[in-house]
Amino acid sequence: MSRLSIQNVTKYFGADTVLDHLNLDVEKGEFVTLLGPSGCGKSTLLRCIAGLAVMEEGAIMLEGRDISADLPKDRGVGMVFQSYELFPNMTVYDNIAFGLKMHKMPKDAIRKRVDEMIQVIDLPNKMNAYPHELSGGQQQRVALARSMANQPKVMLMDEPLSALDAKIRRNLRVELRNIQKKLGMTTIFVTHDQEEALTMSDRVCVMYKGKIVQMGTPEEIYTNPKTEFVARFIGNYN
Ligand code: ADP
Ligand code: MG
């Protein structure tokens, strides 16, 4: 059974079909990237999985159970966005601890979990820093730690590196992938950046107008594009 199974997911905005009978299975520990131009439906698909948008048709199965009707907080899904959205008036520690407090985890367990997360993101000296005292890359690592702290079954990342400048973005790509592998974190990563998709992913799904038009390993997609759209879109990679 797949960790996550997206079945026939369809969404309209008015007369526009934004997600068109879309299917995707993601295996445990896999890093799958949705790659496509702006407006093709990447964010909307993540929002449907997370329960932040309502779909018209289809099902989202997590370990074989349909979670489509569950509240976002009950879905076992974590999300990281392009803008870090940390609480500006809280320290790094409190930002990471926030969701755990909400889930009424005991204080000792919270400390232990936050300590682990701070090790994972390698910011041991920033525990008591406030977001404005951190670089963009550091803030995004804290946002990642905050989402990971709840140990979601699936992590959704919506262009998490896009707001960062080129050099930090390259470093964080490697770092993010290392963390993901180390934790075996099942991940759907969204980007419009071909290089990011091809260098980071186990599998790439190329999206166009609400559909996955090709799915495969980065090598398959790069060497054997199935449509002219994919060929042209990937062709920008150098
Ligand atoms: P992507 O993340 O791939 O850039 P989105 O999922 O944000 O694409 O958007 C897909 C399509 O849905 C776009 O045409 C966008 O204009 C439209 N859309 C997204 N959100 C809304 C909304 N709240 N109301 C109406 N249309 C929307
Ligand atoms: Mg988007």
* pLDDT single digits (tens) 201-238: 999 999 999 999 999 999 999 999 999 999 999 985 44
Position 191 confidence tier, pLDDT thresholds 50, 70, 90: very high
How many A from CA of 222 to the centre of ligand 1? 27
User: 15: Cβ below 6 Å to ligand 1?
Assistant: no
* Closest of 125, 100, 98, 118 to residue 179, by C-alpha: 118
pLDDT score recorded for residue 237: 44
pTM for the model stands at 0.95
Per-residue CA distances from 36 to 33, 84, 88, 100, 137 (Å): 10, 22, 32, 34, 24
Q: Is-contact 174 122, C-beta < 8 A?
A: no
Q: Is the pLDDT of residue 97 over 60?
A: yes
Ligand 1 pocket check: which of 35, 43, 233 to mutate, most ligand atoms within 8 Å of Cβ?
Answer: 43
How many A from CA of 36 to the centre of ligand 2? 9
pLDDT score recorded for residue 201: 98
**Order of strands across the sheet with 57-62?**
16-26, 4-13, 57-62, 65-66
Tens-digit pLDDT profile for residues 39-94:
999 999 999 999 999 999 999 999 999 999 999 989 999 999 888 789 999 999 99
Tens-digit pLDDT profile for residues 114-157:
999 999 999 999 999 999 999 999 999 999 999 999 999 999 99
How many A from CA of 8 to the centre of ligand 1? 18
Torsion, Cα of 126, 129, 130, 133 (10° steps): -80
Complex ipTM value: 0.98
Q: Which residue has the higher pLDDT, 167 or 90?
A: 90
